[in-house]
Protein backbone atom coordinates (compact mmCIF):
# COMPACT_ATOMS: atom_id res chain seq x y z
CA UNK A 1 0.00 0.00 0.00
CA UNK A 2 1.28 3.50 -0.81
CA UNK A 3 2.10 5.94 1.96
CA UNK A 4 0.71 9.45 1.84
CA UNK A 5 3.33 12.13 1.13
CA UNK A 6 1.89 14.49 3.74
CA UNK A 7 2.55 12.12 6.64
CA UNK A 8 6.21 11.16 6.35
CA UNK A 9 9.23 11.09 8.59
CA UNK A 10 12.40 12.88 7.59
CA UNK A 11 13.37 16.29 6.28
CA UNK A 12 12.59 18.31 3.16
CA UNK A 13 14.52 21.26 1.67
CA UNK A 14 12.21 24.29 1.59
CA UNK A 15 13.16 27.95 1.13
CA UNK A 16 16.82 27.36 1.91
CA UNK A 17 16.38 25.29 5.04
CA UNK A 18 15.67 21.72 6.05
CA UNK A 19 12.26 21.28 7.64
CA UNK A 20 10.49 18.23 9.03
CA UNK A 21 8.05 16.84 6.45
CA UNK A 22 5.08 17.48 8.72
CA UNK A 23 5.94 21.20 9.06
CA UNK A 24 6.34 21.89 5.32
CA UNK A 25 3.16 23.62 4.15
CA UNK A 26 3.98 24.16 0.46
CA UNK A 27 3.16 21.26 -1.83
CA UNK A 28 6.29 19.73 -3.36
CA UNK A 29 4.89 19.88 -6.90
CA UNK A 30 4.37 23.65 -6.58
CA UNK A 31 8.15 24.03 -6.82
CA UNK A 32 8.05 22.65 -10.38
CA UNK A 33 5.73 25.40 -11.65
pLDDT tens, residue by residue, 3-20: 666 667 788 887 788 988
- Give the confidence band of 27 by pLDDT, cuts at 50, 70, 90: low
Residue 23's pLDDT is: 78
Between 21 and 4, residue with greater pLDDT:
21
Indicate if the pLDDT at residue 21 is higher than 70: yes
What does the H/E/C string look like for the chain? Answer: CCCCCCCCCCEEEECCEEEEHHHCCCCHHHHHC
The domain of 29 spans: 1-33
pTM of full prediction above 0.85 = no
Tally of domains in the chain: 1
Amino acid sequence: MLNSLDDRDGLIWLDGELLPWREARLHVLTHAL
